[in-house]
Structure 1
Amino acid sequence: MTSSIASAAPERPALRRLLPADQLALTDSSDDLEITTHRAHFVIARRQADVTRWRLAARTATTVADSLASAGVPFFAMHLPYTRSARWGVRRDDLATVFDAIGRRLGGEGFYYHAREIGLPRPVTEAPTADELDSLRDISVFQYVRCTTTGKLYGAPDGCRIAVWDDHESRATLIAPDRQSIVQEIDRSDPPSLTTRARWDGWLEPSVDGSAADASAIEFPVDAVYLWVDDSDPQWRAKRAATRRRLGLADLPEGSDAHYFRDRGELRASMRSLEAYAPWIRHIYLVTDDQTPDWLDTQHGRVTVVDHREIFSDSEALPSFSSHAIGSQVHRIPGLSDRYLILNDDVMFTAPVTPYDFFTGDGQLRVFFSRSRRPDISRDHQNPLERARSNSAELIHRDFGRRASEVFAHVPIPQRKDVATEVAERYASEIAVTVGSPFRSETDVESNSWLHLYTALFTGRGVRSAIRYAYFNIGDPSVRERLLRKGHPGNVSVICLNDVPPPSGEDDADPGWLPAWLADAFPIPAPFEIPATPTGDRPS
């Protein structure tokens, strides 16, 4: 990132005397450029609001591709589909033309290039020497970009790479400079035989003919499904109260069960994190009970609100207030892709992830476990959640002869529609009992995690895997203080902010801190949010 900002404004003559004349001239010519310091060196950076790393890398890849195409340089994708940063392959014979093209086309925008053989990054207007040109094997082309929303400075890790292909020593082929590519040797032809494939955002990138459908590649769509409820909705609360009275249950005390249902901005923050760090998700489905967030633009097309009535196989079971019951019906969403992620609104992405983090190339689920185990205690001592897990584990043991004891990590849950359908059929009677209870019950089973993921593991459709994540019980005042003081960890890809009720008799942690913390941690609006008015109020 950055250590400080150095403006090239005329009112700072002492600083301007320290800066190279060409950098001063470039920044003076554009309101979008600034001079800043990165690792104790002055560099040119472009200012941009609302920078996200996937879109920055895509923009850079497209810009470099346009430069190469304009110069008539053949190039092709060496990276797997759904890879965040592009890597273009070019022939060494074309390398001088490559530098000429990016220098002329991108020099005025403050682009840089870097390679291990030349040391520090250089502006693309400074071409390598002939000797350096002969030594280059892998080049990173990038732009320093300052996000004016967050203040962060982005650079080489979010650029585009160019790999140099050389002639084979003994046959008429070209070979890659290393083994980091989906293609490593191709026929030497001019031009190479190329086709196109769609990038995650729809842009068509050139690829080597015949390299499609590689066994290591993910080329299937992945959707995301959120289960969400807003307990501040008077109609929803009245519906829940009426259902309890119908079942002869006592009215809930004010604030009871709030931890399971309340929304303090988690859904919006989670969706913002998805757009920032996993925009390759094809479509987002929001499963609700006749509710829509007031900030969601339902006409945008990116998010589809799905009512429980559209997916429940037994409409007589509605209304339902049990996540176990609702989750068991998710695979029935019309138009849902065959592979999808289920997310609770308290799960957020904090670093770029790819489909390869959740699925293998042949579509297996990556299954993530925590370090916890299901307690081996009698049912009399189990809470409702533990009973649902025990019920599910007994079914797994009955059908696969294996003890299911490991608890799953609080991360996005990868799913396969064929596994979900199989689970729905095999455990139809148990799921029917779960769906038949409007509230969580001691007879529940957990379809999405325990039944689905263990079934996938034991039938070869899932593999054990790992993802860097952090879990926070935000009902704990000490956890709240740590988040307020340090923010979320920078070395994880996913966090879970679990709103766990405090022990009986203890006061709840101050709930007012979370909305502001989430807004600060995830400040970049998603494209499907209704814009705020200039005063910050929601539009009427």
Structure 2
Amino acid sequence: MNHETYPIDFVLFWVDPGNKQWQQEKAEYRAKVFGDQKQEADLAIRYRDWDNLQYWFRGVEKYAPWVRKIFFVTWGAVPDWLDTTNPKLVIVNDREILPEGCAPVFSPNPKEINLHRIPDLSEHFVYFNDDMFLIRETDPTDFFLNGRPREMAVSYQLANDMDGDSFRHMLFTMMGVINSFFSKKEVQRRHWHQWYTLKYGAQVINTLRTRPFRYFSGIMIPHLPSPMRKSTYEEVWEKIPELLMETSSRRFRDPLDLTQYIFRYWAICKGEIEPANIYKYGKEYFMEDLALKELCETISRQKYKMICINDSRKITDFERCITLIQKSFETLLPERSSFEKEEADPR
């Protein structure tokens, strides 16, 4: 039962990888920054179109009717089928939220760390990537309780697996920031009831294993919709403005970037969360051929409230993958939402 009476917004980022103007601008800045060097930003999986955005809106309308506003942050273009007159929908150009002189950027990180600049955004909001979907009825308490984000205060040993992805480097960078502001021993002593709770199930073993460590090596963040508070953003910006500005000014993804995780880490270390085992009602899928059948069954049988479909270089037949996932979504959510134009066909 929902006892959270304050407004909650959703924020969704989207870019159309097929937009010619976006492609041209990206190519121009890429040449200025990198020249002929190949970069992680060149990987096709960073911008592959799964052609399933309509199911995000259908899922939100059906399973989260309590949301106040949806802030759709985009480079400029919007899908042809999207009804921008919907009273719940607010279109935001990403240039509006970046600090002066930072636009354009071609990485989500600068935009993610400036979400608090979205005009009229509520104090409580949930940030979605466009690969995260609601597939079963949700309640505001799945994201916030007593005004605090539902999170998992679980520490673990972060390792460098040498897979060439810069994201792991970003995690190391952010752990350095967190350790410079918080004592691991003091945080876990003061908020022991958030770190050593049976709500996390077997995950608490990770915290016990890393208990002897002097510093935080890693803090678990499920790759699922992120419950956030604007006040946390504002506090962190007051504490580390230079570091956040460095990320904001980078056109492309960089190993030294900070991500939206820094704000979640901050809330966890301050004890400003409500513990929840998010994996009980959410699951992230790192797409490869072996995971496809399980994912499709999860969607059609509504095994979780929310899922994340991570793209992967391990997918051997991308078109087949798209077709099967769309079929599962269409079985679950066949009806057009009020966010879709009546005359348009999103597929």
Please say if 1:389 is aligned against 2:171: yes
Q: CA deviation at 1:305?
A: 0.9
Kindly indicate which of the two structures has a greater share of residues assigned to strand: 1
- Gap regions ≥5 residues in structure 2: 185-215
Summarize the Cα distance change of 1:511–1:251 in structure 2 as closer, same or farther, 3 Å threshold.
farther
Q: Which of residues 499, 505, 516 in structure 1 aligns to 2:311?
A: 499
Q: Which of residues 334, 338, 343 in structure 1 aligns to 2:128?
A: 343
Match of 1:376 in 2: 159
Q: After superposition, where does 1:406-421 map in structure 2 within 5 Å?
A: 406-421=219-234
Q: CA deviation at 1:440?
A: 0.6
Q: Which of residues 144, 158, 179 in structure 2 aligns to 1:359?
A: 144
| Secondary structure class of the residue paired with 1:230 | coil
In our comparison, the structure showing a higher alpha carbon Rg is 1
Counterpart Cα distance in 1 of 2:236 and 2:30: 29
Summarize the Cα distance change of 1:458–1:406 in structure 2 as closer, same or farther, 3 Å threshold.
closer
- Gap regions ≥5 residues in structure 1: 1-79, 84-216
Please say if 1:477 is aligned against 2:262: no
Match of 2:191 in 1: none
Q: CA deviation at 1:537?
A: 8.1
Letter aligned with residue 151 of structure 2: V
Summarize the Cα distance change of 1:488–1:405 in structure 2 as closer, same or farther, 3 Å threshold.
farther
Counterpart Cα distance in 2 of 1:532 and 1:404: 52
Q: Which of residues 276, 280, 283 in structure 1 aligns to 2:69?
A: 283
TM, length-normalised to structure 2? 0.82
Q: CA deviation at 1:317?
A: 1.8
| Secondary structure class of the residue paired with 1:324 | helix
Summarize the Cα distance change of 1:396–1:372 in structure 2 as closer, same or farther, 3 Å threshold.
closer
Deviations 1:56-80 (A, max 9, x none): xxxxxxxxxxxxxxxxxxxxxxxx6
Counterpart Cα distance in 2 of 1:417 and 1:388: 22
| Secondary structure class of the residue paired with 1:376 | coil
Letter aligned with residue 75 of structure 2: D
Match of 1:525 in 2: 336
Counterpart Cα distance in 1 of 2:284 and 2:34: 37
Summarize the Cα distance change of 1:305–1:499 in structure 2 as closer, same or farther, 3 Å threshold.
same
Q: CA deviation at 1:365?
A: 1.2
Summarize the Cα distance change of 1:406–1:219 in structure 2 as closer, same or farther, 3 Å threshold.
same
Counterpart Cα distance in 2 of 1:461 and 1:291: 37
Summarize the Cα distance change of 1:459–1:406 in structure 2 as closer, same or farther, 3 Å threshold.
closer
Summarize the Cα distance change of 1:230–1:516 in structure 2 as closer, same or farther, 3 Å threshold.
farther
Please say if 1:443 is aligned against 2:259: no
Q: Which of residues 108, 119, 128 in structure 2 aligns to 1:334?
A: 119
Summarize the Cα distance change of 1:428–1:377 in structure 2 as closer, same or farther, 3 Å threshold.
same
TM, length-normalised to structure 1? 0.54
Deviations 1:161-211 (A, max 9, x none): xxxxxxxxxxxxxxxxxxxxxxxxxxxxxxxxxxxxxxxxxxxxxxxxxxx
Counterpart Cα distance in 1 of 2:136 and 2:321: 26
* RMSD over aligned Cα atoms: 2.7
Counterpart Cα distance in 2 of 1:278 and 1:424: 30
Counterpart Cα distance in 2 of 1:353 and 1:444: 32
Is the 8 Å Cα contact of residues 231 and 258 (structure 1) preserved in structure 2? Answer: no
Q: After superposition, where does 1:303-322 map in structure 2 within 5 Å?
A: 303-314=89-100, 316-322=101-107
Counterpart Cα distance in 1 of 2:118 and 2:157: 31
| Secondary structure class of the residue paired with 1:247 | helix
Counterpart Cα distance in 2 of 1:518 and 1:249: 41
Match of 1:427 in 2: 240
Deviations 1:329-357 (A, max 9, x none): 11100000010000111111121111111
Summarize the Cα distance change of 1:414–1:483 in structure 2 as closer, same or farther, 3 Å threshold.
closer
Summarize the Cα distance change of 1:432–1:353 in structure 2 as closer, same or farther, 3 Å threshold.
same
Letter aligned with residue 98 of structure 2: F
Letter aligned with residue 394 of structure 1: G
Q: CA deviation at 1:430?
A: 1.0
| Secondary structure class of the residue paired with 1:430 | helix
Kindly indicate which of the two structures has a greater share of residues assigned to helix: 2
Q: Which of residues 80, 83, 108 in structure 2 aligns to 1:323?
A: 108
Q: CA deviation at 1:471?
A: 2.0
Counterpart Cα distance in 2 of 1:332 and 1:374: 33
Counterpart Cα distance in 2 of 1:517 and 1:235: 33
| Secondary structure class of the residue paired with 1:415 | strand
Match of 1:257 in 2: 43
Letter aligned with residue 376 of structure 1: A
Summarize the Cα distance change of 1:239–1:346 in structure 2 as closer, same or farther, 3 Å threshold.
same
Counterpart Cα distance in 1 of 2:135 and 2:102: 37
Summarize the Cα distance change of 1:401–1:382 in structure 2 as closer, same or farther, 3 Å threshold.
farther
Deviations 1:360-392 (A, max 9, x none): 12x1111147x89453349x7763100111111
User: Which stretch shifts more, 400-409 or 304-313?
Assistant: 400-409
Match of 1:23 in 2: none
Q: CA deviation at 1:526?
A: 1.6
Deviations 1:471-527 (A, max 9, x none): 2223x1122234456745533111111112228xx6757454244443333222221
